[in-house]
Amino acid sequence: QMALPSAAPLATTLRNTLVRYHGIGDGEWRLAKKTKDATVWHKPSEEFSGYLYKAQGVVEDVPNRIVDHIRPGPYRLDWDSLMTTMDILETFEENCCVMRYTTAGQLWNIIAPREFVDFSYTTSYEDGLLTCGISIEYGEVRPNFVRGFNHPCGWFCVSLKDYPSHSLLTGYIQTELRGMLPQSAVDTAMSSTLATFYSDLKKALKT
């Protein structure tokens, strides 16, 4: 297993990468899915052979509370239907940690359960927050799981100026599921997962 990364430089690089994704022009994205809760687009990833996904929707709550539900911590496991376990392995200064989590099988188990170990960082962004992560090579893979890999991912959450009780939540996700999977199955699963993420999150925030 690799040594743990130095938190500060990794956090800075990660944040800069996400801010760059957030600046990608609308013309570069192709629509993948639209539901009442979210719109999902994709474009070829610069990091690997799959797609970078962008998801966006308005969520009725303030950024602090929304991001508390998304970032590694006690809330996430309660409401995220895809996540089956989550452990925080290490905690650093400046809102950084390393977490290990597992996901349920998808598409009638065409996509088997996955395990991820991610470095996570939460920071302020404009008048809101950014919580972001990237997988690291760390720890033994548990039996019965395929170890997936998250290239830089993150969620920007910013208050809507005219509706301060609502926030615009924009996610950038590029997950390398690994294992032999048809790209079409991955696309279907990713788009659905991201749309479900918004509806699950909204339900959780209302309770």
18 falls within a domain: no
Q: Which of 15-29, 85-99, 157-171 shows the lowest mean pLDDT across its residues?
A: 85-99
Rounded-to-10 torsion of CA 67, 71, 74, 75: 50
Q: Please choose, from the candidates 99, 60, 64, the residue with its C-alpha nearest in 3D space to the C-alpha of residue 83.
A: 99
169, part of any domain = yes
Q: Give domain status of residue 9, yes or no.
A: no
Give the CA distances from residue 93 to residues 8, 71, 121, 180, in Å, rounded to whole numbers and listed in that order: 9, 15, 10, 38
CATH number for the domain harbouring residue 88 = 3.30.530.20
Would you say residue 80 lies in a domain? yes
Structural domain boundaries enclosing 200: 29-205
Single-letter code of the amino acid located at 197 = F
The string of pLDDT tens digits covering residues 38-67 is: 999 999 999 999 999 999 999 999 999 999
Number of domains in the chain: 1
Query: Residue 94 falls within a domain, yes or no?
Result: yes
Kindly state the percentage of the chain with pLDDT values over 90.
75
**β-strand pairing of 114-125 with 96-103:** antiparallel
* pLDDT per position as a tens digit, 68-114: 999 998 899 999 989 999 999 999 877 899 999 999 988 877 888 99
Question: 3 or 25: whose pLDDT is higher?
Answer: 25
**Within a domain: 40:** yes
> Is 2's pLDDT higher than 60?
no
